[in-house]
Amino acid sequence: MLELARADPAQPYRGGRSVFGEYVRRMRLDLERTTADVPIRFEGLPGEYLQVDWGEVRHFPFTEPPSSGRTATRYFLAGRLKYSRWSWTRWTTRMDEETLLRGLVDCFLALGWVPWVLVFGNMKTVTLGRDADNQPIWNPTFLQFAREFDFHPQVCAIGAGNQKGSVESLVKWVKGNFLAGRTFTDDADLASQNEEWLAMVNGRLNAATGEAPNVRLKDEATQGSPLPPSALDYGFPVAGQVNVESLVHVAGNSYSVPLGNCGAPVTVRKHRDRVAIWRDLTLLAEHPRAPDGAHQRIIAPEHFAPLFAKKRRAQTMLEREALLRLGGGVGAYVSEVSRRHRERLDEEIAAIYDLYEQYGQQALMAAIAQAHQARIYGADYLRLLLAGPVAVTSQKLILSDTPAQTEVDRLLSSYEVWVTIDGPGETEKHSDPSIPTLAIVSRAIGMAERGDSSEVSR
């Protein structure tokens, strides 16, 4: 600038460098004063603004480190109402989209209503960037969430430090006010101390308002938007597509839908403990939710029923897979049935699966536990156990149509009629095969309860 001023042909500068520098400095100060970006503070209306942000704490001060032996990192989702200064925090081990949405739902449930506007930083779980007009490009899942809970999402302008600072001050406050001077045994202790701290800060006088947040919160509760009916069991939407195997991939697992939907776009609702798959307004399937990333195939055999007429073994394998997912001792029992009854595997698995559909998971698992203890394997034994009432006051199994004990404890010579070759006339007298079957089942379970394992195996 100095050289240009000296070389000016019409009015060249003839002074020294220091004088020129001082003149430019005064011009710069005058310009900054007239164009200064002064932050404007304002208060929200009751129920209007909820500020939300993530915080991260590395080398978390746990007195008992995680089992991996590595230093723990924890995140917290923080929210604060602008009018009442009511605050809410949730500590997590993840900072993904589902954790954000589940946290916001829990915050709404703690309030009992939904604020009008939620203000965020430019996090990727909320906005994917800006368009040509510098407007936010909303994350589709988050935008759908905002529509269903009827709030207006708002993000801080890029480069607007006064806006971002207002949101980030919430994170600094949590770190400086809650973490300072505290130690935590584990995550359970962290959650407990967090609840105690929130009760304290929301119940004491706030320096900015002169009232306790809980007191001003009463005014906000009357102005907030009502919670949608789905709040208690919210399933946030994820776009998906049915593949050629009539499966939908969701969060590292595959879930079946009925045949006839291959290639169709679907919407997957991820609830806390279940997955619902929708095609337009039609519910195609609903499954228990497997752990994310477990690479499990969750299949309902009835979805493939049209194929069973020509693929009998496929029906057996799908029904067996569904039984194995029940957990507990079902896997070991079905495995033993598959080994012992290989020649009639299709009939055995189909019969056990029918019992599952007829009596339900809990009843079948209880019957399997008793049969497994007595080392009797097969659908016929399970059917007898499920059909017979069990006395509540006794630990012993009582089966319907069980013969008297004197009939069961006869001499072995009396049973020779069943195996002798010379007595065809006698076998015709005992044509009902259910009586010895019931007797054997009852006797085996009775010996198992007495701990006589050698007699049971014989």
In a domain, 42, yes or no: no
pLDDT of residue 144: 92
User: Which of the listed residues 286, 302, 318 is the one where a domain comes to its end?
Assistant: 302
- Do 321 and 352 contact (CB within 8 A), yes or no? no
Is the pLDDT score of 457 beyond 90?
A: no
Query: What pLDDT digit, counting tens, does each position of 180-189 carry?
Result: 888 898 889 9
Q: CATH no. for residue 91?
A: 3.30.420.10
Same domain, 313 and 380: yes
Instruction: For residues 346-367, give the mean pLDDT.
Output: 93
- Do 109 and 224 contact (CB within 8 A), yes or no? no
Measured over the CA atoms of residue 130, residue 131, residue 133 and residue 137, the dihedral's sign is negative
Same domain, 197 and 54: yes
Same domain, 27 and 75: no
Same domain, 85 and 190: yes
Instruction: For residues 90-119, give the mean pLDDT.
Output: 94
Same domain, 242 and 364: no
For 276, the domain range is 236-302
Percent of the chain with pLDDT over 70: 79
Same domain, 66 and 206: yes
Same domain, 21 and 56: no
Query: What pLDDT digit, counting tens, does each position of 66-89 carry?
Result: 565 556 889 999 999 999 999 999
Same domain, 189 and 53: yes
In a domain, 40, yes or no: no
Q: Which amino acid is at 435?
A: I
pLDDT of residue 443: 65
CA nearest neighbour of 178 among 42, 80, 67: 80
Instruction: For residues 421-447, give the mean pLDDT.
Output: 53
Q: What total of structural domains would you count in the chain?
A: 5
User: Which of the listed residues 336, 370, 387 is the one where a domain comes to its end?
Assistant: 387
Same domain, 291 and 196: no
Same domain, 292 and 326: no
pLDDT of residue 145: 94
Same domain, 172 and 211: yes
Same domain, 275 and 396: no
In a domain, 199, yes or no: yes
In a domain, 112, yes or no: yes
User: Which of the listed residues 387, 411, 426 is the one where a domain comes to its end?
Assistant: 387
Confidence category of residue 50, pLDDT binned at 50, 70, 90: very high
pLDDT of residue 122: 82
Instruction: For residues 159-178, give the mean pLDDT.
Output: 71
Query: What pLDDT digit, counting tens, does each position of 140-155 carry?
Result: 999 999 999 999 999 9
Pick the more confident residue, 291 or 62: 291
In a domain, 420, yes or no: yes
Is the pLDDT score of 225 beyond 70?
A: yes
pLDDT of residue 398: 57
Is the pLDDT score of 451 beyond 80?
A: no
